[in-house]
């Protein structure tokens, strides 16, 4: 999990929307636009705090909206400025934790996906600056009076938000831009002009900015499609997993990603991590994608001695692509020996990190079989798990 702060911009006037009010208050499916956008960050456990930049004159109406929707995430209201860039600068000055990445996002983009937020967070930790963007699909012409030139489309990307940065870098970029009297249409351009690289994370064409009245119709159609999809595929999906590995001499005993000192280890084509296999199977079951044998066959040399954490990471990627995050996971390791208790917390931590969830959502138990059956005779270790996934859309 990577903590970040989100600055959400809502201090514009929405003139091009021609709604007679700030477009942030426009109802989409009975909920104001800004509430849809804030909800994306509210649902993301990586988001520690939201700085909501507003027009001072709309403070009361915005506050009543927030009260009516009772968000858990701390939302700090800050007055914006005349231009978007001024609003971002004000937002930056209100950020309380200056050591974690800061995401700058248009309140007018309600459909950003959680998996893209997480990709941005990872890239920001590595490169300090990243943005979501999509390759342009139209042919782009540059017009000089009546003369046109055609730009090379293969190098052109349409910038979106969030754009994410280390706090010191983006603060400096804004300070330098202010001193130079430079105005950019996004925040990445302020970092680019410092000669710094900004990492591009390919986003989705669905991450539209509601700018004109036509965009409202597109957003409604997108929402209704999403709702039907969530209805078809289910708000929640449940899956269960079960696995057994034989105990053998000369093998490592890896359970839940932790190497446990023991006289024997688990036998298998991969590292034979019985617990991570069980969790992977439960997740695959929940999304209707078969089992790990189908995805990582034990006849494939590529998975010989494979690190099961990597396999579970790949499975989780599939889960996220289908729009789900972890509701909760409960698992049991069935082993006469080794004694599991000293390792349970570390295992929980590992699994929570792999499933990009808070540790409170992961429970790991262990039991013996009172010396009965194959686990009781120390011939092998079994494990079982049940997982609940929730649809983030
Ligand atoms: N002074 C400003 C101008 C814009 N924004 C925010 O920046 C985002 C992107 O800007 P845009 O789509 O241009 O919104 P508006 O400025 O509201 O629209 P318009 O230009 O049509 O008036 C919006 O969420 C908007 O609320 C802001 O916080 N402060
Ligand atoms: C930042 C931005 O969303 C990137 O596409 C965009 O430039 C802001 O919108 P505006 O209409 O240019 O204010």
Q: What band does 230 get if pLDDT is binned at 50, 70 and 90?
A: low
Residue 365: which of 389, 387, 384 has the closest Cα? 384
- Under CATH, to which class is 4-233 assigned? alpha beta
Q: Tens digit of pLDDT for each residue in 173-200?
A: 999 999 999 999 999 999 999 999 999 9
pLDDT of residue 128: 98
Q: Are the CB atoms for 335 and 318 separated by under 8 Å?
A: no
pLDDT of residue 36: 96
When pLDDT is averaged across residues 204-229 and rounded to a whole number, the result is: 90
Residue in 10, 12, 183, 215 to alter for ligand 1 test, most ligand atoms within 8 A of Cβ: 12
**Cα(363)–Cα(361) distance, rounded to whole angstroms?**
7
Q: Which residues are annotated binding-site positions?
A: 243-245, 269-270, 277, 291-293, 296-300, 335-341, 367-370, 374, 377
Partners of residue 266 on adjacent β-strands: 247
Q: Tens digit of pLDDT for each residue in 308-340?
A: 999 999 999 999 888 899 999 999 999 999 999
Domain boundaries, the chain: 4-233, 236-391
Cα 84 to ligand 1 centroid, rounded to whole Å: 6
ipTM value greater than 0.85: yes
Vertex 95 angle, CA 91 and 100, to 5°: 125
Q: Does domain 236-391 have CATH number 3.30.1330.50?
A: yes
pLDDT of residue 224: 83
Residue 228 has pLDDT above 90, yes or no: no
Task: Say if ligand 1 is within 6 A of residue 14 CB.
Answer: yes
Q: Tens digit of pLDDT for each residue in 235-290?
A: 899 999 999 999 999 999 999 999 999 999 999 999 999 999 999 999 999 999 99
**Cα(161)–Cα(159) distance, rounded to whole angstroms?**
7
pLDDT of residue 209: 98
Return the residue whose CA atom lies nearest to atom 10 of ligand 2: 185
Task: Say if ligand 1 is within 6 A of residue 53 CB.
Answer: yes
pTM: 0.71
Q: What band does 234 get if pLDDT is binned at 50, 70 and 90?
A: confident
Q: Tens digit of pLDDT for each residue in 80-104?
A: 999 999 999 999 999 999 999 999 9
pLDDT of residue 30: 82
**pLDDT, mean over the chain:** 95
**Cα(338)–Cα(8) distance, rounded to whole angstroms?**
50
Residue 375: which of 262, 285, 244 has the closest Cα? 244
Please give the share of the chain, as a percent, with pLDDT higher than 90: 90
Secondary structure string (H, E, C) spanning the chain: CCCEEEEEECCCCCHHHCCCCCHHHCEECCEEHHHHHHHHHHHCCCEEEEEEEECHHHHHHHHHHHHHHCCCCEEEEEECCCCHHHHHHHHHHCCCCCCCCEEEEECCCCCCCHHHHHHHHHHHHHHCEEEEEEECCCCCEEEECCEEEECCHHHCEEEEEEEEECHHHHHHHHHHHHHHCCCCCCCHHHHHCCCCCCEEEECCCCCCCCCCHHHHHHHHHHHHHHHHHHHHHCCEEEEEEEEEEEEECCCCCEECCEECCCCCEECCCCCCCHHHHHHHHHHHHHCCCCCHHHHCCCCCHHHCCCCHHHHHHHHHHHHHHCCEEEEEEEEEEECCCCCCHHHHHHHHHHHHHHCCCCHHHEEEEEECCCCCHHHHCCCEEEEEEEEEEEECC
Please give the share of the chain, as a percent, with pLDDT higher than 70: 98
Q: What band does 231 get if pLDDT is binned at 50, 70 and 90?
A: low
When pLDDT is averaged across residues 206-220 and rounded to a whole number, the result is: 95
């Amino acid at each position: 999990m990577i903590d970040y702060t989100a600055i959400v911009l809502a201090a514009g006037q929405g003139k091009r929307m021609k709604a007679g009010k700030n477009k942030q208050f426009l109802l989409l499916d009975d909920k104001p636009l800004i509430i849809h956008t804030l909800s994306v960050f509210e649902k993301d456990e990586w988001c520690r705090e939201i700085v909501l930049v507003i027009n001072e004159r709309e403070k009361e109406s915005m506050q009543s909206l927030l009260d009516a929707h009772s968000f858990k995430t701390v939302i700090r209201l800050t007055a914006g400025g005349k231009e978007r860039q001024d609003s971002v600068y004000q937002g930056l000055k209100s950020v309380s934790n200056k050591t974690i990445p800061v995401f700058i996002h248009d309140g007018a983009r309600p459909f950003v996906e959680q998996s893209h937020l997480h990709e941005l967070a990872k890239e920001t930790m590595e490169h300090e600056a990243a943005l979501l963007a999509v390759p342009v699909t139209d042919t782009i012409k540059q017009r000089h009076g009546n003369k046109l030139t055609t730009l090379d489309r293969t190098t052109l990307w349409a910038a979106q938000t969030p754009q994410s940065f280390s706090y010191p870098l983006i603060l400096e970029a804004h300070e330098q831009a202010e001193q130079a009297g430079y105005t950019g249409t996004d925040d990445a351009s302020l970092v680019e002009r410092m000669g710094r690289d900004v990492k591009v994370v390919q986003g989705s064409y669905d991450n539209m900015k509601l700018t004109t009245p036509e965009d409202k119709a597109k957003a409604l159609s997108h929402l209704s499609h999403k709702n039907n999809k969530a209805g078809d595929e289910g708000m929640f999906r449940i899956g269960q997993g079960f696995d057994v590995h034989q105990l053998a001499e000369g093998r490592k005993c890896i359970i839940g990603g932790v190497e446990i000192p023991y006289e024997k280890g688990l036998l298998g084509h991969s590292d034979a991590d019985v617990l991570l296999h069980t969790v992977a199977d439960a997740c695959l079951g929940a999304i209707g994608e078969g089992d790990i044998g189908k995805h990582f066959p034990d006849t494939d040399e590529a998975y010989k001695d494979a690190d099961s954490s990597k396999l579970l990471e790949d499975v989780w990627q599939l889960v996220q692509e289908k729009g789900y995050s972890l509701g909760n996971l409960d698992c049991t390791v069935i082993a006469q020996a080794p004694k599991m208790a000293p390792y349970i917390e570390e295992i929980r931590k590992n699994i929570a990190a792999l499933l990009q969830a808070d540790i409170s959502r992961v429970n790991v138990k262990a039991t013996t079989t009172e010396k009965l059956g194959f686990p009781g005779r120390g011939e092998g270790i079994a494990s079982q798990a049940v997982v609940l996934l929730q649809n983030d859309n």
